[in-house]
Structure 1
């Protein structure tokens, strides 16, 4: 009689496992003849709750020809005399999630203990495939759907390698992870801290992102033991200008690019190339390269040689015949008659959703950072248009890092509310339980549409996406028929009784003119970038932007600086009003940047073009009355006098509306400059990685 190995015997007598879908309450004996036939190796696995013998055999390399099972328990002699047992076809690997307990002996025990403490028992498909690579140190290009656990998938093998390195110097950067946004970088740091929680001593995980004080973070980096560094490319490029920093990378073991398609597109490639030039050469140092992303456009293959070895592994958990992830999210568009109807439609839609779901949690995507800021003002404390007083937040690239971090944590933890966001939220950032994604205006391209919609329906949960679109923007729907967008109309009896047009009109009257002017100039810049796709002339484009200004309650289009008109290439185009009054440059430099103290104008910190016009960012920003952030937060006071770039001293901007005294939200001490303050901190313009895709 063939004798089972101890591991198989234990496996077959577990009383709590399901076998071929049947739950067993008593130990059952199974014939091993078919299972062990053609396989002399012991099956090194154990069957956990929810797994079947069919799955066990498949995961250990047994094919349907060699693996068959019986629950009737005949003797071995009977089994031998009977015709071959019915074959069982294994389900796809994606349907059979592995368990982390099976990685004992392969993955460091400290990481397994941390995973257990985090409540992670089962692997996602991408995690299982990466952890079953031939080597944890192999270069790899990995494609997986959004929300499937890519962060854990690259952290585990990298951390395992560091934990088991004999010659690791913890004062040197061994693991470098690059992410396109500050929020995603912070999210990676949070996961990393949890995974190393069971290590003694623990690895230090450092964060280097724009929007935070460089001096203090750099000092911490140089004095500490930054074994792991998570960074955005702009700030890391800035760091690497310091020779002391470059010396910290002499023993680099692994470089990870998260959201690789974004990191390697032409906008980020120059910064990445500079970073790679400063790091030890891959050919000599032999560090591992890992690229993870939800999408892999063909253009990405032109630049992979910067990070990956020629014989890198290509892992994908996306079935080529399977519909894209967003196809599982119900999508629709609501075509309005004109731009005047956009905001009332948005209000009515949110009202309808709020009636059906008192715990509504929604993200409203806007075309520009300034539009997100305006809607936050409109629906928040200042305008008060939020349905049923749902709490509101904003997330856009003009905010400083402290406020963006606070917003991320608050919106992650809330069970209801509205986040008005620019596309800084569109990639990688995971907010749980988003019921609804609304797009007010079109994204820059189809890829951005995918990432916006991907904020809902994550990890198998429900959600839907709606786009409110004007006739001028309807071309986006016509050119992107690959997306399952169906036309929809508001048909909700309770919402129909809400006079959204009047509510929006009254709330717009409370929004400061300065905020409207900012939104108008930003919208003009956005439409200018889309003009060729819209197939309109510059004059027609200005008409579209002016109608937008009127929809905000402006009596006439806001005046624009001549330098801004020139930069847009719109000099001489009819319909624009050139500013002929006192220069706004001083207000721009002296007033508040997004929730920050007033920066000094001119010089390198205000932008490369500061010499003539106060800086490129200054030419865009008319934000002296910018506002705070948080649930229904209001606006900080206007900044005082600030230095215009080579243009003399500028006037401080007017104060914004105050915050809600009853709100528990508290602004940081340095969120605004007190009236009459002279200049402010030397804040650099927002890092390129956070605002490069947003006009103005």
Structure 2
């Protein structure tokens, strides 16, 4: 976690059984999605960002009858590029989009993650640059990703193609993402930057502060991957700045590609700024893809706030007892909550490895946690929405969402981490009693969610409550304070839906701190005191003057 965050780091519990990943041997052409780590010019390869391979049987169910060799026969890709593609057949996404992209059209493609869409734009990019790359190594292809993990996954596949085609020494591949040493990026800008994969925040920093703009004189390809997620993550202003930093298409022609699972108005607006009027709109979503809930069993439970996390523990324990190969992603609403919940789950006797990934973790720790989770046969990953879209983790048996989703779309995006590549899976949503309104929100009734079939007695909630109370007594006040602040900030944004006043949400937050986090500070008179909040934080939340808050100038919580 971050240097100022909880002391929890994903580690092996004594007695827990760790799975051992099968070494990826060389696979035949008909096996998609097994890619080695990339080799990049002028940039260190992200060693932990690999693309996992689903089983051969599930792959064959999700392939088209179109071969990559068909494009070589038409002269659209060279034999060298073909040799670099370790798959024989295209996925439906690739089959639907490759012709248009290889012939130079702008494309707006609707496709979900985990369907091979990354190769749908990487193969044409590398084919094009192999024929006409910049002699001075300026940026020829710019690929934007909403998350560091997805950016590294894209780079991993690009590195595979470059090595397979023998182009790794001719074309420079750079990955610019936040959470890494910017000095390395500054040095990389001085070298070959033929293909750049980046997250918007870091890219803007390099453009505005470190002269990357001078390397953007004539990009040939511009790709927005997970465009809806880019905008969901608040990158609208950054995207507009990046587009403005590119030269006019009238003087420097380029191809623009948009990939997105959904097309809300925000995506349509950015698309109008970037795509030519003659662009091709391709949808590769089946009815099953659009309605994820129709092939994933979904359950919900509404429990007293005091029992929310014990119910999480009881549910995990039940799943562990039923399936020794259980693999779960738990989604929480904030990074601080993800860190706190991972720490407490690590310190109760679940006997299963617990990992965490969220924006408060350093990049190396996130990479290590994700890599360990990927290779472990049975494990739990506690995550904020960092992994809700864009990362394909195989064999997720359950998605467990804890707390109020921001909307139905977010709920469905998270749910989409399971039941991938033709496999089964289930989704469970656990809400505290004050969040029950969500179950009557617009669109929820169409999801087909069923009540959680396990009672508190079956889940042994009272037993897990005792275990968690003990674990919380060993948690630092600092972690509890950070969790409280993040919790209050998140739910303050939902007051209207919660039908609460500011006074009521503060009261509920204090109950959460006292009864759930077991925050036990008292003043000189022996009266319980809420976790401290900086006065400026209270002001930003719009809660200045609300009774029940402990406003302080300096936080003084112990480590």
| Range of TM-score over shorter length | 0.7 to 0.9
Q: Are residues 1:552 and 2:517 paired?
A: yes
Name the structure 1 match of 2:537: 564
**CA distance in 2 between partners of 1:179 and 1:134 (Å):** 19
CA contact (8 A) 2:113 2:391 kept: no
**CA distance in 1 between partners of 2:120 and 2:457 (Å):** 47
Cα deviations by residue, 1:503-540 (Å, 9 ceiling, x for unpaired): 11221212112111110111000000111221211111
Q: Are residues 1:289 and 2:260 paired?
A: no
1:322-333 to 2 correspondence within 5 Å?
324-333=291-300
**CA distance in 1 between partners of 2:319 and 2:286 (Å):** 34
Name the structure 1 match of 2:183: 215
Gaps of at least 5 residues in structure 2 are 1-28, 31-60, 521-527
**CA distance in 2 between partners of 1:274 and 1:377 (Å):** 39
Residues 170 and 193 (structure 1 numbering): CA distance in 2 closer, same or farther, change over 3 Å? farther
Per the TM alignment, residue 493 of structure 1 is displaced from its structure 2 partner at its CA by 9.0
Name the structure 1 match of 2:203: 236
Per the TM alignment, residue 264 of structure 1 is displaced from its structure 2 partner at its CA by 4.1
Cα deviations by residue, 1:104-154 (Å, 9 ceiling, x for unpaired): 3332222322222xxx23211111011132743210000013321111111
Name the structure 1 match of 2:173: 205
**CA distance in 1 between partners of 2:161 and 2:136 (Å):** 17
Q: Are residues 1:502 and 2:502 paired?
A: no
CA contact (8 A) 1:137 1:158 kept: no
Cα deviations by residue, 1:646-696 (Å, 9 ceiling, x for unpaired): xxxxxxx744xxxxxxxxxxxxxxxxxxxxxxxxxxxxxxxxxxxxxxxxx
Residues 242 and 544 (structure 1 numbering): CA distance in 2 closer, same or farther, change over 3 Å? closer
**CA distance in 2 between partners of 1:111 and 1:391 (Å):** 41
Structure with higher RCO (Cα < 8 A, 6+ apart): 2
Residues 194 and 177 (structure 1 numbering): CA distance in 2 closer, same or farther, change over 3 Å? same
Say which of 145, 149, 156 aligns to 2:123. 156
**CA distance in 1 between partners of 2:393 and 2:299 (Å):** 21
Per the TM alignment, residue 323 of structure 1 is displaced from its structure 2 partner at its CA by 5.0
Name the structure 1 match of 2:501: 537
Structure 2 residue matching 1:476: 3-state secondary structure: helix
Q: Are residues 1:513 and 2:486 paired?
A: no
TM-score (norm 2): 0.82
**CA distance in 1 between partners of 2:339 and 2:112 (Å):** 30
The structure whose Rg is larger is: 1
Structure 2 residue matching 1:216: 3-state secondary structure: helix
Gaps of at least 5 residues in structure 1 are 1-47, 50-92, 588-652, 656-696
Cα deviations by residue, 1:474-499 (Å, 9 ceiling, x for unpaired): 22221122322111132599754982
**CA distance in 2 between partners of 1:462 and 1:477 (Å):** 24
Say which of 420, 425, 428 aligns to 2:382. 420
**CA distance in 1 between partners of 2:375 and 2:462 (Å):** 30
Name the structure 2 match of 1:196: 162
CA contact (8 A) 1:175 1:254 kept: yes
Aligned Cα root-mean-square deviation (Å): 2.4
Structure 2 residue matching 1:482: 3-state secondary structure: helix
**CA distance in 1 between partners of 2:189 and 2:295 (Å):** 43
Which aligned segments of 4 or more residues in structure 1 are displaced greater than 6 angstroms? none
Cα deviations by residue, 1:44-65 (Å, 9 ceiling, x for unpaired): xxxx99xxxxxxxxxxxxxxxx
Cα deviations by residue, 1:256-286 (Å, 9 ceiling, x for unpaired): 0001113346931211111122221123211
Q: Are residues 1:574 and 2:547 paired?
A: yes
Say which of 341, 350, 354 aligns to 2:316. 350
**CA distance in 1 between partners of 2:160 and 2:184 (Å):** 24
**CA distance in 1 between partners of 2:182 and 2:480 (Å):** 32
The size of the alignment, in residue pairs, is: 486
Say which of 65, 75, 78 aligns to 1:108. 78
Say which of 448, 465, 471 aligns to 2:427. 465
Structure 2 residue matching 1:560: 3-state secondary structure: strand
Name the structure 2 match of 1:341: 307
**CA distance in 2 between partners of 1:290 and 1:583 (Å):** 48
**CA distance in 1 between partners of 2:292 and 2:318 (Å):** 26
CA contact (8 A) 1:264 1:303 kept: no
TM-score (norm 1): 0.66
**CA distance in 2 between partners of 1:548 and 1:497 (Å):** 17
Structure 1 residue matching 2:217: 3-state secondary structure: coil
Name the structure 1 match of 2:66: 98
Cα deviations by residue, 1:371-407 (Å, 9 ceiling, x for unpaired): 0110111122xxx11512x111111111122222222
Cα deviations by residue, 1:19-68 (Å, 9 ceiling, x for unpaired): xxxxxxxxxxxxxxxxxxxxxxxxxxxxx99xxxxxxxxxxxxxxxxxxx
Cα deviations by residue, 1:86-115 (Å, 9 ceiling, x for unpaired): xxxxxxx98854232333333222232222
**CA distance in 1 between partners of 2:178 and 2:297 (Å):** 36
Name the structure 2 match of 1:591: none
